[in-house]
Structure formats: C-alpha cells, structure tokens
C-alpha cells in the first residue's frame, strides 16, 4: 500500500502530492462517515480502498478541489457525481 504512494504514477495521475493527499483525506472522511466503496476489495482497510479508487479513476478532484466520482454504483453506468455532500 505505501509503495503505491511512492510511485510517481499515482502522484502524476491526480496532479501532484498535495492534490493526492487532499483527495485521500477527503475520501477517507467520507468512508469513515459510512460512505460506500466504489471498488470491489475484500478488505476493511480504507486506505487500500481509496488508493484503488484512484487507480481505477473512480474518484478525482475537480478544479475547485471538490471530490468527484465518475461512477454511479449499482447500474454500471458512468456519470460524474459530486461526492462533496456525502
């Protein structure tokens, strides 16, 4: 898991280390408040879930640093969702 954070690929994917840490923090807050994972992982480790969501392009920060998702879970349909209100 920590190796994922050391890879430049995930850092570049989100636009830098600051954006990566912001994205992780915002998504961890959502998961800790009862949010549902957007990936299938057999783990309770929320950090692994968040990193996998980033790798699979399920979550990102928009231009205003708001957490967004590209997947509507349940239908398989892809659409942009604002996760900021969760």
Q: Judge residue 38's burial from the number of C-beta atoms within 10 Å of its C-beta, 0-12 exposed, 13-18 middle, 19 or more buried.
A: buried
* Ordered DSSP codes for 16-38: SHHHHHHHHHHHHHHHHTTPPPS
**% helix / strand / coil in the chain, to the nearest 5?**
45, 15, 40
Which domains does the chain show, CATH number per domain? 2-82 (3.90.940)
For the chain, the average pLDDT equals 83
State mean pLDDT over 13-17: 91
CA 19 vs. chain centroid, Å, equals: 11
- Paired with 68 in beta bridges are 60, 82
> Which pTM does this prediction carry?
0.75
Percent of the chain past pLDDT 70, that is, above it, reads 74
């Amino acid at each position: 898991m920590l190796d994922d954070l050391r890879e430049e690929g995930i850092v570049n994917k989100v636009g830098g280390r600051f954006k990566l840490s912001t994205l992780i923090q915002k998504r961890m807050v959502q998961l800790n408040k009862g949010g549902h994972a957007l990936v299938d992982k057999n783990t309770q480790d929320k950090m692994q879930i968040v990193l996998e969501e980033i790798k699979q392009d399920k979550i990102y920060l928009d231009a205003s640093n708001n957490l967004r998702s590209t997947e509507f879970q349940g239908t398989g349909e892809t659409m942009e969702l604002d996760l900021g209100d969760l």
